[in-house]
């Protein structure tokens, strides 16, 4: 007896089918964080929800899946995020040498997110592996745009990390933070954008693809930035995904404006990722330093913005409160999404980059829920990216979001 040959995507979806029947699970982390909160009404409220039945929430967005513990942008990471109740899951989108779209956080991150340096494809890297020496750390840069789709699919993903003290490519594969793990890195499945669409459909989640900034000069072999932006949307249309289920993202405002003009159904909920913090003199509390006012963005047709968490809050008399940016965005009628919860590891030392505007009140892991509560209740965000979606799902279920 012979059986019909399944395509790679069909096999991928078929292998994901058990996840459809799986219950949403929180695991132990939300309760762990509640236990570490300071006593008060919020802790009492969250503790009272410990016995609740989990359900999926669009407020909970899987940032690259469940990247706290799973290799990002892999089937395993995406399935884990969905099983934690994320209603929306992210594929960061970049392109290969043959202009096929794939899920990677950056076009040039293959040296830290895959095993490319210990394969025959290492000679495609634009910056070959250079060992550490003296005060200079080891380095390498390898791009998807140097590989065909077939070559990309031959790589094995790993936790995003590099051992900068390495003197060999094999040693460079390490460097994973001690609060992460490599436990789930074995046999992880690398993904194309089309693969992610089929998997997310099977998992019953919505889509938030991010069009990543190219590392190569555009146009690339006749492939313009507009072609790139259009191709990403076309893959949803070809898969029969309604625009209402897609939250296309970009840090490039021109991409957002392109979708608003050329794909208005998708452009209506395109998400402008804000990285104005890179501008010299920028202050999220001082509108005079902003490249665009919130009213100007709204006037361009932008409906969703997504600054990092710290841009939406500030510290006032020992409390976390909305920032000036948050207040003006709300007044302008902009919907806000933010990033990224559970990306900072333990918070005892202040939380690092994502907590920089409230470092003075960030001294324990319970602050994850305290910040999330201010963002949800006072700032009024409509979605939260998280590297461990169970935390956000738990909060959303408990608060009825």
Predicted confidence (pLDDT) per residue in 137-168, tens digit: 999 999 999 999 999 999 999 999 999 999 99
Q: Provide, rounded to the nearest whole percent, the portion of the chain with pLDDT above 90.
A: 94
- pLDDT tens profile 216-231: 999 999 999 999 999 9
Do 114 and 86 share a domain, yes or no? no
Do 222 and 87 share a domain, yes or no? yes
Residue 16 has pLDDT above 50, yes or no: no
- pLDDT tier for residue 208 given thresholds of 50, 70 and 90: very high
Q: What is the rounded average pLDDT of the residues 286-296?
A: 97
- pLDDT tier for residue 4 given thresholds of 50, 70 and 90: very low
Distances (CA, A) of 36 to 242, 367, 373: 41, 8, 15
Q: What is the rounded average pLDDT of the residues 105-115?
A: 98
Do 331 and 242 share a domain, yes or no? yes
- pLDDT tier for residue 9 given thresholds of 50, 70 and 90: very low
The answer as to whether 182 is a domain residue is no
The answer as to whether 102 is a domain residue is no
Residue 18 has pLDDT above 70, yes or no: no
Do 67 and 141 share a domain, yes or no? no
**Beta strands, E only, 166-265:** 206-207, 210-211, 249-250
The answer as to whether 70 is a domain residue is yes
The overall average pLDDT reported for the chain is: 94
Do 213 and 359 share a domain, yes or no? yes
Of residues 10 and 328, which shows the higher confidence score?
328
Q: What is the total count of domains within the chain?
A: 2
Residue 174 has pLDDT above 50, yes or no: yes
Out of 120, 143, 177, a domain closes at 177
The CATH number assigned to the domain holding 313 equals: 3.20.20.190
The answer as to whether 304 is a domain residue is yes
Torsion of Cα atoms, 346 then 103 then 122 then 172, to 10°: 0
- pLDDT tier for residue 6 given thresholds of 50, 70 and 90: very low
**Single pTM value for the model:** 0.94
What local confidence, expressed as pLDDT, does residue 23 receive?
82
What local confidence, expressed as pLDDT, does residue 5 receive?
37
The answer as to whether 185 is a domain residue is no
Residue 1 has pLDDT above 90, yes or no: no
The answer as to whether 84 is a domain residue is yes
Do 352 and 218 share a domain, yes or no? yes
Do 169 and 250 share a domain, yes or no? no
CA distance 58 to 278: 29
User: For residue 62, which of 187, 174, 153, 196 has the smallest C-alpha distance?
Assistant: 196
Of residues 276 and 15, which shows the higher confidence score?
276
Residue 11 has pLDDT above 80, yes or no: no
For β-strands 127-130 and 139-141, DSSP reports them as antiparallel
The answer as to whether 15 is a domain residue is yes
Residue 3 has pLDDT above 50, yes or no: no
Residue 215 has pLDDT above 60, yes or no: yes
Distances (CA, A) of 366 to 286, 357, 363, 385: 29, 17, 8, 18
Do 264 and 340 share a domain, yes or no? yes
Out of 151, 177, 203, a domain closes at 177
Q: What is the rounded average pLDDT of the residues 67-90?
A: 98
- pLDDT tens profile 318-369: 999 999 999 999 999 999 999 999 999 999 999 999 999 999 999 999 999 9
Do 38 and 142 share a domain, yes or no? no
Domain assignment of residue 149, given as a range:
107-177
Alpha helix stretches (DSSP H) within 293-389: 294-299, 324-331, 367-374
Out of 152, 177, 202, a domain closes at 177
Residue 265 has pLDDT above 60, yes or no: yes
Residue 384 has pLDDT above 50, yes or no: yes
Do 199 and 172 share a domain, yes or no? no
Do 312 and 197 share a domain, yes or no? yes
User: For residue 368, which of 379, 381, 388, 380 has the smallest C-alpha distance?
Assistant: 388
CA 299 remoteness from chain centre: 27
Please check whether residue 366 is in contact with residue 36, taking contact to mean a CB–CB distance below 8 angstroms.
Answer: yes
Do 51 and 25 share a domain, yes or no? yes
The answer as to whether 346 is a domain residue is yes
Q: What is the rounded average pLDDT of the residues 40-50?
A: 98
| Close Cβ partners of 159 (under 8 Å, ≥ 6 residues apart) | 71, 176, 180, 181, 182, 185
- pLDDT tier for residue 22 given thresholds of 50, 70 and 90: low
Whether the CA torsion 351, 357, 360, 364 is positive or negative: it is negative
What local confidence, expressed as pLDDT, does residue 317 receive?
97
């Amino acid at each position: 007896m012979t059986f019909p040959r399944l395509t790679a995507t069909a096999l991928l979806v078929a292998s994901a089918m058990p996840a459809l029947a799986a219950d949403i699970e929180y695991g132990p982390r939300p309760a762990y964080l509640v236990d570490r909160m300071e006593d008060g009404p919020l802790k009492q409220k969250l503790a009272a929800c410990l016995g609740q039945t989990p359900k999926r929430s669009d407020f909970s967005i899987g940032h690259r899946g469940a990247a706290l513990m799973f290799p990002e942008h892999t089937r395993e990471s995406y399935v884990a995020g969905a099983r934690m109740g994320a209603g929306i899951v992210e594929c960061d989108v970049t392109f290969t040498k043959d202009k096929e779209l794939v899920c990677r956080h950056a076009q040039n991150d293959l040296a830290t997110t895959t095993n490319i340096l210990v394969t025959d494809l290492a000679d495609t890297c634009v910056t070959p592996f250079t060992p550490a020496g003296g005060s200079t750390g080891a380095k390498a840069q390898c791009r998807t745009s140097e590989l065909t789709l077939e070559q990309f699919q031959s790589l094995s993903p790993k936790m995003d990390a590099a051992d900068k003290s390495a003197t060999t490519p094999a040693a460079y594969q390490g460097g994973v933070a001690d609060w992460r793990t490599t436990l789930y890195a074995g046999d992880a499945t690398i993904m194309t954008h089309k693969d992610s669409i089929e998997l997310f459909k099977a998992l019953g989640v919505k889509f938030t693809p991010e069009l990543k900034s190219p590392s190569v000069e555009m146009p690339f072999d006749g492939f313009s930035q507009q072609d790139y932006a259009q191709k990403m949307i076309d893959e949803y249309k070809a898969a029969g995904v309604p625009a209402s289920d897609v939250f296309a993202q970009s840090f490039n405002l021109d991409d957002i404006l392109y979708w608003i003009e050329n794909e208005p159904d998708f452009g209506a909920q395109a998400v402008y990722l804000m990285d104005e913090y890179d501008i010299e003199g920028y202050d999220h509390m001082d509108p005079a330093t902003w490249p665009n006012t919130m009213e100007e963005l709204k006037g361009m047709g932008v409906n969703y913005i997504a600054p990092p968490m710290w841009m939406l809050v500030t510290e006032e008399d020992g409390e976390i409160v909305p920032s000036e940016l948050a207040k003006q965005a709300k007044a302008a009628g902009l919907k806000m999404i933010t990033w990224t919860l559970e990306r900072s590891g333990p918070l005892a030392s202040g939380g690092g980059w994502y907590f920089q505007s409230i470092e003075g009140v960030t001294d324990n892991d319970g602050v994850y829920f305290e910040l999330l509560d201010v963002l949800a209740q006072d700032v009024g965000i409509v979605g939260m990216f998280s590297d461990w979606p169970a935390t956000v799902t738990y909060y959303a279920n408990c608060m009825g979001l």
